[in-house]
Amino acid sequence: MHKLIKIGARIKELRKGDYDKNPGAELISQEKYLVEKLKIRGISRSTLASVEAGNRNPSIKLLTAVQEYEKVSFDYLFGIIPDKYDPTDNDYLILIRAWSNMDKKSRKRLIAYAKSLIQKGSIK
């Protein structure tokens, strides 16, 4: 049940964002827009609420709809990685996969390198 609550919390976090994702229309909250998108796919508001509360397993249909609309990875939705990213960004995906396959020594070297780039001002 712990993972379900995490998935539900992630979906709720994404739904609660407050910016326009419906260009050309009157301003509408992301929350309402996501609910409308899910409704078009046959997913009710009560189903969404149940998943967000951790009382129900999310269907593949719901997960796919949220993933496609929000442009986040399934890894993020399932809590495997902490940060959102666009699953179409291959460079980011390569970094995530490389990190997960690195040994402790290699990770430390990569972190040291990243810190040096930050100190030089190459990365913010």
pTM equals 0.58
DSSP letter at 57 equals P
Q: CB-based contacts of 106: which residues, under 8 Å, 6+ apart? A: none
On the 0-12 / 13-18 / 19+ scale of CB atoms within 10 A, 124 is exposed
pLDDT digits (tens, 9 = 90+) for 55-110: 999 999 999 988 888 888 888 888 777 777 665 667 777 887 888 889 999 999 99
Amino acid (1-letter code) at residue 67: Q
